[in-house]
Amino acid sequence: MRTTIACERCRKSKVKCIHDGASPCQGCEKAKLTETCVLQGPFANRPPGEILVKSKRKSTPLAGTGEERRRKVLRLESSTVSEFFSSIPSGLIDEAVSILQLKFPEYGFIQPPSLEPKHDQPDIEKLRLLAILAVASRYMSNQSLEQSEQYAAVVRRDLLLHVASPPRLSIIQAFLVLALYEWGEGVGYRAWMFAGVAIRMAQCLVATRAEAFVSEAKDNAEDLKPTESENRTLWTCFVIDKLLSCGRQRPPMMHIDDIATHLPIAEKEFAFDVESPQHVTFRELLDDPVLSRSHGTIEHHFSIIVRGINIWAKIHSYIVNGGRRQRGQMDPEQYPWVSGSLWDNLENELSRWRDEQEDRLKYPKAPVGAHAHFRHGEIFAYINLLYFLSVIFIRREWIPFLPAAGTGPSGPQDRPHFKTPAPEGWWENNNQLMFDASVQITHLMRDLNRDNASLITPFSGLCVYTSTIMHLYLDAFPLMNLSNSQSAQEYARQNIATLEEFRGLWKISEGWCSVIEVAKSMYQRIKSDLTSFTGKTREDFLQLETAFNIMGPSKNNGTPTSTTISTESTPRCNPVTPKVVPPASDPMVSYSNLQPYNNAWDGVNSNQSYSGIPSATFDLLQNIDSDSWRVWSFWDDPNLVPFDNSAIDFTSEPLLDGLRR
């Protein structure tokens, strides 16, 4: 029989998955792949081309016989939102709302009193609560990974029907939370698309309000002002847009100068639905340092996050669009130590944002435990992680990808080069601040875990991943921080242990673990033969990969294979092996053999061959000058590199039905 339940192999091959409701199917049995055959409903399918990687995710199998499991999935597909929602205890929803508010401070619209479950509420409001439950259930001991996926499946199925519906706050918020779920699952394309729908709806809602405000009589004007929930939802759209955007291939949709509304009001005023005596705009805070400092407290944490994310987005855009390689950025007036240069302006903006925060918000000056006592630990951590991540990204541009043997801080070695030397001590100070930020991320995550305020989210995972890469770098090149970081290897070990914990909740961490394995292998080879490989630049990275034999082709019997490299000095993100690159005509792998993350870093068996990505895709990548280098650079988030468009099924009937409405 042909059903909507199929295994990963049959879905990928686009063939019938013939089975009796239980694994293995006939195809896998014939191919002698019975151990890897897992039947899944359409809600649990993965993007084409994605290879399953073993992890510690808290998944529990569907109970019962094969026929019972099949009926359970089919009941889920046929049940309505109301039927599905009625089976969920209201206490579970209340707990989910509290968890989302606590663990995801970037979602500043969460207001528990307005999100109380009611069985007579419209289906779209139930979908919003189910979306929250899909994310928050990952943090509940009485909920499994499978249940989280079921909640998301129902939301995804019915929410797509509202893609072209008139904008409503509940629809916008549901799409935003669903984008968070997809981000955590490592499906960047879907996350970006769902966030995009939310943003367009929010913009339309604002425009509709503004038009009505102009046309209505003045005595009705107060009723037409946007509520604080609407205001905060718009700012959440802004934050998520910046977090999911990446360079010219994934451009942002919102710009700070286009948002006319005021910044979020104080948290207590929002929680108690009290009108704030003062509404402050983004521009007013920039122009008034005294006013800015008055908003640098924990009571204004969402406003602080909004401003910090805006700065982070500028820094990230500067880096992914080429950094110092951008036209004019290596002119003498644009050198980073020159006052008024683009880099200097970005660094000053970041420093001012940090300086305007009260000391009780600054780690390590303020301890995690004090904030955890008042249930502010995660918020406190988010603000500090955002700062440390920004410091790493803005300063990492000025260190060599592979330093020359025996050299200390001296700036990049690849072109373009500086025409004049830097002021004395500038390189040393730059490196010290950057590596210190990496250490603070490690310490902060350790303290959060110690004080029972752990923050295991996609954003904090990105911070830990970035910190780990820098620790591995410093372990290989200790002179880059004047040998002041003897604990780099131990810090890397702690971070990798943290990422292992992430893998139990969110699939996105599997990409980070894969890239960390590549980085560890490369740096291990560099340390064993420093003089042969140091001094190479980013442009040599593919050749380095081949020389190190961590991803390059092996000529053994003409079949490319990967080589296992011992990395006993640091723990592994187990078990991940980088996918091999097909042989090139040249002894060194050419740039045209480069693969985007979704294809290049999947875990595969060491004896598995690989047929390369279509050449048309490579041609496209090579023609994108400003973003091309970052496709292979593990110095950035692998989950933000160009994504696979096939992650969305464009033939999906719910999607098509939604577009027809």
Average the pLDDT over 130-138 and give the result: 97
- Range scoring the smallest mean pLDDT among 11-15, 97-101, 155-159, 633-637: 633-637
**CB-based contact 481:407 (threshold 8 Å):** no
Q: Encoding tokens for residue 556?
A: 């053994």
Q: Are residues 42 and 104 in the same domain?
A: no
Per-residue pLDDT, 118 = 80
Residue 409 sits in the same domain as residue 462: yes
Do 388 and 436 lie in one domain? The reply is: yes
pLDDT over 80 at 21, yes or no: no
pLDDT of residue 75: 54
Q: Which two structure tokens, joined as six digits, stand for 115?
A: 């999100």
Q: Which of 202, 254, 209, 204 is nearest to 232 (CA)?
A: 202
Same-domain status, 32 and 85: no
Which of 251-255, 503-507, 621-625 bottoms out in mean pLDDT, i.e. has the lowest? 621-625
- Indicate the range of 63-77, 180-194, 264-278, 348-362 predicted with least confidence: 63-77
Q: pLDDT-based confidence at 532, cuts 50/70/90? A: confident
Q: Say whether both 47 and 99 belong to one domain.
A: no
Mean pLDDT of the chain: 78
Q: What pLDDT, on a 0 to 100 scale, did the predictor assign at position 111?
A: 92
Q: Residue 127's Cα: distance from chain center in Å?
A: 24
Confidence of residue 48 (pLDDT cuts 50, 70, 90): very low
pLDDT value of residue 51:
27
Is 109:126 a contact under the CB 8 Å cutoff? no
Higher-confidence residue: 417 or 543? 417
Provide the token pair at 595: 């693969």
Same domain, 52 and 84: no
pLDDT of residue 225 exceeding 60: yes
- For 6, list phi and psi in degrees, rounded to 5: -150, 165
pLDDT exceeds cutoff 50 at 185: yes
pLDDT the model gives residue 495: 97
Residue 391 scores a pLDDT above 70: yes
Per-residue confidence (pLDDT) for residue 335, from 0 to 100: 97
Provide mean pLDDT across the span 438-453.
Answer: 97
Least trusted range by pLDDT, from 210-219, 268-277, 518-527 = 210-219
The answer to whether 507 and 184 are in contact (CB under 8 A) is yes
Residue 626 to residue 551: CA distance in whole angstroms: 25
What does the alpha-carbon distance between residue 169 and residue 146 come to, in Å, rounded to a whole number?
Answer: 28
Q: Residues 512, 461: contact at Cβ < 8 Å?
A: yes
Count CA atoms closer than 13 A to 579's CA, side-chain side: 25
Torsion angles phi and psi, residue 75, rounded to 5: -65, -40
For residue 403, what are the domain limits? Answer: 381-414+424-617
Q: What is the pLDDT of residues 565-604, one digit of tens each?
A: 333 445 556 543 333 333 333 322 222 232 333 333 233 2
**Residues 504 and 540 grouped into a single domain:** yes
Q: How far apart are CA 358 and CA 352, in angstroms?
A: 12
Task: Give CA–CA dist 129/117, Å, rounded.
Answer: 8
> Residue 272 domain-assigned?
no
Ranges 192-196, 289-293, 517-521: which has the least confidence: 517-521
Confidence of residue 211 (pLDDT cuts 50, 70, 90): low
The pLDDT value recorded for residue 661 is 41
Has residue 74 been placed in a domain? no
In a domain? residue 169? yes
- Provide the sign of the torsion angle of the four alpha carbons 384, 387, 393, 397, taken in this order: negative
* Helix, strand, or coil (residue 91): helix
Tokens of 85: 């929602």
Over range 334-343, report the average pLDDT. 97
Look at residue 108 and tell me if it is in a domain. Answer: yes
Q: What is the pTM of this model?
A: 0.77
Q: pLDDT of 274-325, one tens digit each?
A: 888 889 999 999 999 999 999 999 999 999 999 999 999 999 999 888 889 8
503 and 395, same structural domain? yes
For 182, the token pair is: 């997809």
Considering just the CA atoms, what is the radius of gyration of the chain in Å? Answer: 25
Our count of domains for the chain comes to 3
pLDDT given for residue 523 in this prediction? 86
Asked, for residue 448, whether it belongs to a domain, the answer is: yes
The SS3 call for residue 153 is: helix
pLDDT-based confidence at 250, cuts 50/70/90? confident
pLDDT of residue 105: 98
Determine, yes or no, domain membership for 350: no
pLDDT tens for each residue of 611-644: 333 343 334 333 334 343 343 345 666 666 544 3
Tell me how far apart the alpha carbons of residues 45 and 609 are, in angstroms, rounded to a whole number.
Answer: 24
- Sign, CA dihedral 308-495-474-425, equals positive
What 3-state DSSP class applies to 40? strand
- Mean pLDDT of the 63-90 span: 66
> For residue 451, is pLDDT > 90?
yes
pLDDT bracket for residue 204 (50, 70, 90): very high
Selection from 146-150, 481-485, 559-563, 587-591 with the highest mean pLDDT: 146-150
pLDDT band at 462 (very low <50, low <70, confident <90, very high): very high
pLDDT for the residue numbered 40: 72
Mark whether 401 and 522 lie in a shared domain.
yes
Of the listed ranges 68-82, 93-107, 295-309, 576-590, the one predicted with least confidence? 576-590
- Residue bearing tokens 């099924």: 649
Residue 193, pLDDT > 50, answer: yes
For the chain, percent of residues with pLDDT exceeding 70: 70
Fill in the amino acid letter for 577.
T
pLDDT at 293: 94
Average pLDDT over residues 402-411: 85
Asked if the structure places residue 623 within a domain, the reply is: no
Domain contains 486: yes
The pLDDT tens digits of the residues spanning 538-558 come to 666 544 433 332 222 233 333
Q: What is the mean pLDDT of residues 204-231?
A: 70
pLDDT at 137 over 60: yes
Are 47 and 192 part of one and the same domain?
no
**pLDDT tier at 50 (50, 70, 90 boundaries)?**
very low
DSSP, collapsed to helix, strand or coil, labels residue 7 as: strand
Both 48 and 124 in a single domain?
no
16 and 87 belong to one structural domain: no
At 39 the pLDDT is: 76
